[in-house]
Amino acid sequence: MPVTTELTTNASPFIPAPASPYQGDIARYWDQEARPVNLRLGDVDGLYHHHYGIGDVDHAALGDTADSEYEKKLIAELHRLESAQAEVLLDHLGTIGRADTLVDAGCGRGGSMVMAHQRFGCSVEGVTLSAKQADFANRRAHELGIEDHVRARVCNMLDMPFESGQAAASWNNESSMYVDLEDLFAEHSRVLRVGGRYVTITGCWNPRYGQPSKWVSQINAHFECNIHSRREYLRAMADNRLVPQAVIDLTAATTPYWQLRATSSLVTGIEEAFLNSYEDGSFQYLLIAADRV
């Protein structure tokens, strides 16, 4: 059953203090976040995402813009595209068994964790700086009867409470722009077993543009993040025993999502920056899958 209100139960008996003032700012940002574009889309089927969508828009499913149900159909279509993005990430995790453990670094309200468990039958551990998000994700897992397999906890993704080599696979889905990449990939390399798979889907600025564009700067300011360049991702992976197996440019695949979202009642004011930066080539939407060696 979809959740339509924020939840207040503590995610854990102890919530550690942020490791830095910036992390404290980010924790407060996401504790206070309640955008309809995240909550109303999640209400469609109970999967609450904090990432964007990929794929072609199904205009037949949307129907006539004059239809009284059009906005409801548009929201459902945006949500379908966001879930399609998560499916693509899961496609790149490799072979996962029911006894395996996966790690979602920056898990948000837990939509991707639920999808991973539903697909693989395995355990999924999520981490987030936001107690509110972790609480939401844990309540959803309880409502779905999968709390023994899916859990979110409040902690720093640069210092995760998992044993070295514990994870068969791990990922960041649009959350890596909140941390230093060298530190992030060192931690993923630690928690992954040798041969384990790491996947990220992320926006990054294009080194060929020269420097971050004004649109990228607007996105940084809007989300209080620090978008990295494509080159920084590949360099930091190489430094931390993560060998890319696939680098896929999803920019063209995500553009229809943003074009549709810009016509909805859920606009947040950042849609123009995404569309313009994709058009001028200063910003890219990438999937990188890498193996731990």
Q: How far is CA 129 from the centre of its chain?
A: 14
Whether the predicted pLDDT of 127 surpasses 60: yes
Percent pLDDT > 90 in the chain is 87
Query: Where is 144: in which H helix or E strand?
Result: helix 131-144
Is residue 81 a contact partner of residue 142, using CB atoms and an 8 Å limit? no
pLDDT of residue 33: 84
CA dihedral 188, 178, 199, 128 (to 10 degrees): 70
pLDDT of amino acid 180: 96
Beta bridge partner(s), residue 197: 169, 291
pLDDT of residue 15: 59
Residue 214's Cβ-count burial label (10 Å; 0-12, 13-18, 19+) is exposed
| Model confidence pLDDT, tens digit, residues 264-283 | 999 999 999 999 999 999 99
- Confidence bin at 17 (pLDDT 50/70/90): low
Tens of pLDDT, residues 167-181: 999 999 999 999 999
CB atoms within 10 A of CB 261: 24
SS3 at position 228: coil
Nearest 5°: the CA angle 225, 230, 233 is 80
Note if the pTM is more than 0.75.
yes
Q: How confident is the model over 48-80, as pLDDT tens digits?
A: 999 999 999 999 999 999 999 999 999 999 999
All domains of the chain in start order, with CATH: 28-53+65-292 (3.40.50.150)
CA–CA dist 123, 131 (Å, integer): 21
